[in-house]
A = this chain, B = another copy of it.
Amino acid sequence: MVSERSLAVLHAIVGDYVSSNEPVGSKAIVERHSFGVSAATIRNDMALLEEDELIAQPHTSSGRVPTDKGYRLYVDTLARIRPLSSAQRSAIERFLGESSDLDDVMARTVRMLSQLTNQVAVAQYPSLRRTVVRHIDLVAIGEDRVLSVLILGSGVVEQQVALLPASRVTEAWVHGLRQRIADAAIGSDVETAASAVARLEEDLPMWSQPDETDLVRRVLAVVLSQLQANRNDRIAVAGAANLSRPGGEFAGSLPVVLEAIEEQVTLLRLFGELVHDDREVSASIGRENEAYGLSETSIIASKYEDGVAISKLGVLGPLRMDYAGNIATVRAIARYLNRFLGEER
């Protein structure tokens, strides 16, 4: 266990290193912080910290730099999360308040988040498992295809085309089929609606003409896939330009990070693994992300929920980032999103 003052020294090192991007030495610490002790004493503390692998020196005779483990302890011992300034709060309020549909909310959220943190912002679309089915529409477009449109709570719309082999599609036929599906599904949440539609398909011989069971089956399959499609496998991203900004962070790993952003699967898994304990905001630092090839990257994530759905958002950046500030910002945005989604729908 590290002593009280050693911990303070660690905090000083992290703080100075994050803002200056240069290894920080004992002398610099006594100058910039009022510890009331001399440089030699700081050096002793630093030796202890180095023994615990919380800091390291890039070269034998240079200042110290936090290790992954050091950042981890730093984050875990952050006394309190300082709230955002009122200017920032009102900026969030103003900017998110203008948004119209869900896509817009997500886009504005990540944009805001990336601007406030100067990092890459990521937000997972809310899960729709408990959303209610509001409306179902089947529209014949052309003679051999039917467009199925699903309107869910929160104004989310799912659309998909069913290709039909034969060309006996008529308005009336489609209308009747729609009525039957609507009766079964509308009003219940997507999960029960899905099983209702599945039952409809099982009982199919009982209510449909034998020669059109195949057509009906195809349409039902499409509707079912729409009900089962979880939209929360989508994510919104913004601020990729922040990756390349200042002094050559991400030397070799930039392509990896950019690929991870494009290959949303990686990010989704990472987020999924990250946010499962009881903490509101979690961080994953450097090597802790090694399994995803992102060992030079840190991620700060928080869950958010809108009553029916629960999902995640956060930022991704270099090891050397302003953890305190970013944690505060992610938490603020997540909380705001909670409130906003809650009241809005």
Chain B residues with Cβ under 8 A from A147's Cβ?
Answer: 134-135, 151, 155, 157
- Chain B residues in 8 Å Cβ range of A258: 240-241, 243-244
Contacting B at CB under 8 A, from A28-77, are: none
Interchain CB contact under 8 A, B240 and A161 = no
- Count residues of chain A with CB under 8 A from any CB of chain B: 30
Given B134, B244, B255, which contacts A139 in the complex, CB threshold below 8 Å? Answer: B134
Shortest beta-carbon distance, A245 to chain B, in Å?
5
Which residues does chain B contribute within 8 Å of A161, judged by CB atoms?
Answer: 100-101, 155
The answer to whether A255 and B244 have CB atoms under 8 Å apart is: yes
* Per-residue B-contact encoding for A224-249, CB less than 8 Å = 1, 0 else: 00000000000000111101110000
Residue numbers in B under 8 Å from A155 (CB-CB)? 141, 145, 147, 159, 161
Task: Write the chain B residue with the least CB distance to A145.
Answer: B155
Docked Cα-Cα span, A147 to B134, in Å, equals 10
Q: How many copies does the complex hold?
A: 2
> Is A254 in the interface zone, CB < 8 Å from B?
yes
Q: For chain A residues 244-282, which have a beta carbon within 8 Å of chain B?
A: 244-245, 254-255, 258-259, 261-262
Among B101, B141, B153, contact of A159 (Cβ-Cβ < 8 Å) = B101
Minimal beta-carbon separation of A140 from chain B (angstroms): 9
Chain B positions within 8 Å of A153 at CB level? 141
**How far is the CB of A14 from the nearest CB of chain B, in Å?**
26
What is the interface of chain A, defined by CB distance below 8 A to chain B?
Answer: 100-101, 134-135, 137, 139, 141, 145, 147, 149, 151, 153, 155, 157, 159-161, 238-241, 243-245, 254-255, 258-259, 261-262
Known: A135-B139, A147-B157, A151-B159. 17 other contacts (CB 8 A): A100-B160, A134-B139, A134-B147, A135-B137, A135-B147, A141-B151, A147-B155, A149-B151, A155-B159, A157-B159, A240-B261, A241-B258, A241-B262, A244-B244, A244-B254, A244-B255, A245-B255
